Amino acid sequence: MYETEKTNSFSCASCGGRMIFSPEDQQLKCPYCGALKPFHVARETPNEYDIHFAPLEEDAAWGDATRVVRCDACGAELVLTGETSVKECPFCGSPRVQDGPGKAGIAPESLIAFQLTPKQAKARFRSWLRGRLFAPSAFRKKAAQGHIMGVYLSHWNYIDHAVSAYHGKEGRRYDVQLPVTVTDRDGKQRQETQPQKRTRWEPVTGTVTADFDDLMLDGSERLSEKLLSGVLPYHLSRLVRYSPEYIAGFGCEKPEVNVHEGWTKAQNMVDRRMAVLAREDILQRADEAQVLRLETEHTGARYQLLLLPMYMTAYTHRKRVYHVLVNGENGKVSGEAPVSVWRVLTAVLLTLAFLAGLYWLLVRYTGTNYMMVLFGGAMRGRAG
């Protein structure tokens, strides 16, 4: 799958410390002495794997000793290498994260490397937090101290060549002349014929084919679509071949949806698309179309596991979990924060007090009672 060096390739030549991936340098960097070590990843096109031979257990292609940790609170699993530690679960904020019995599973094929450093991500997060004026201060304080972790989120990408045989109906429109009674301007009734549209339906069968190479699915559904859409897009042109150096010091989300479950979902996406194609196929020769039955054969179905970089943090406030995401590639922030009723009320009262003060100043310095002008004018308007 990739070229790997010796297993000790992660230790620093100067001090022996374990090196981690540095987004700033796009190289391995020693967190203790700052030494850099470039690594090279073969530039071939990523592979796609036959869906029928997908391993579900340990996959040697991870390339470095991996371990799996599991959050006791929410059940999320992260694949880690080396001594990477997890202080808080990035999905729910719980500190109850322990080494679990699970295996790392299918290794990723390609990824977008982190471009943003953890320091930059924290700065983005803090400025987002400053903008949450109506969040309760306890939440803001807790969030500011919170731990933000770089996690590669897993995505399944499926490739499919679909051949669908369909049964349906094709409809041809024609006009019939029907007698109708019309009343003219003088109130007299007379018989006339008027054209009316009819459709003649005939059974039809056919075959449509299509190739799909980007059936992307989230590896798990722990984060809402709304939250995720706030940090998009990722530039898939930046995908590189997976190499264990990229994940050193970061976590990888272990997909909750396994490769076969994901494939079932992807097939549904294909089927919906094929039904549209079958309809369009009938409409090439007819005015109306109905697809009654569609049987799709998925030939050459293949998969890849992709990793996309995300800095994440989560906290519980009054039994609800709030997430904040910082895209590890483009730096966009998307988050949720509770709203304090008191803070909103205070803001409203302050605004009202300010307006009242302004009004008082106007009356005092211009000597005009604007209330009288406004309402007096309105009354005079009504009287006149």
Within its chain, how far is the Cα of 20 from the centroid?
27
Q: How far is the CB of 88 from Zn ion (least distance, A)?
A: 8
Binding residues for Zn ion, rule CB under 5 A, total 16
84 vs 247: CA distance, rounded Å: 10
Nearer to Zn ion, 19 or 308 (CB): 19
Tokens representing 295? Answer: 């049987």
Q: Which of residues 80-139 bind Zn ion (CB under 5 A)?
A: 89, 91-92, 94
Instruction: Tell me which long-range contacts 93-97 makes (C-beta under 8 A, separation of at least 24).
Output: 93/146, 93/313, 93/314, 93/315, 93/316, 93/321, 96/71, 96/72, 97/69, 97/70, 97/71, 97/72
Applying CB under 5 A, the span of 73-81, 143-151, 190-198, 287-295 interacting with Zn ion comes to 73-81
Assess contact for 128 and 335: CB atoms under 8 A. Answer: yes
Minimal distance, residue 100 CB to Zn ion, in Å: 12
Euclidean distance between CA atoms 340 and 318, whole angstroms:
12
Q: Could you tell me the smallest distance in angstroms from the CB atom of residue 370 to Zn ion?
A: 58
Q: Could you write out the DSSP letters of every residue in 246-272? A: GGTTSEEEPPSS-HHHHHHHHHHHHHH
Q: What b-and-e string marks burial along 136-146, b requiring 16 or more CB atoms within 10 Å of the CB?
A: beebbeebeeb
Task: Kindly tell me which residue out of 1, 61, 71, 112 binds Zn ion, with binding defined by CB under 5 A.
Answer: 71
Min dist CB 91 to Zn ion, Å, is 5
Residue 273's Cα: distance from chain center in Å?
21
277 token code pair: 């194609």
Of 37-45, 64-72, 167-175, 300-308, the segment contacting Zn ion by CB under 5 A is 64-72
d(CA 246, CA 4): 13
- Closest approach of Zn ion to the CB of residue 313, in Å: 12
**36 counts as binding Zn ion under rule CB under 5 A:** no
First-to-last C-alpha distance (Å) of the chain: 89
Figure out which of the listed residues 20, 28, 30, 324 binds Zn ion, where binding follows CB under 5 A: 30
**Cβ closest to Zn ion, residue 164 vs residue 313:** 313
Distance in angstroms (rounded) separating the CA atoms of residues 160 and 184: 64
Mark residues 6-25: x for contact with Zn ion by CB under 5 A, - for none: ------x-xx-x--------
| Closer CB to Zn ion, 26 or 94, in the complex | 94
**Cβ-based nearer residue to Zn ion, 68 or 239:** 68
Residue 16 or 357: the one with the smaller Cβ distance to Zn ion is 16
Of 73, 86, 210, 216, the one binding Zn ion (CB under 5 A) is 73
Query: Cβ closer to Zn ion: 15 or 180?
Result: 15
Closest contact distance (angstroms) between CB of 246 and Zn ion is 19
Alpha helices in 33-186 (DSSP H): 118-130, 137-145
Least Cβ distance, residue 69 to Zn ion (angstroms) = 10
Structural contact between residues 286 and 168, judged by C-beta atoms closer than 8 angstroms: no
Binding mask 205-244 for Zn ion (x = CB under 5 A): ----------------------------------------
Nearer to Zn ion, 31 or 300 (CB): 31
Q: Quick one: which of 210, 212, 206, 211 has its CA closest to 281?
A: 206
3-state secondary structure of 382: helix
As separate numbers, helices (DSSP H) first and strands (DSSP E) second, the chain gives 7, 15
What's the longest Cα–Cα distance across the chain? 107
Residue numbers at the binding site for Zn ion (CB under 5 A): 12, 14-15, 17, 30, 32-33, 35, 71, 73-74, 76, 89, 91-92, 94
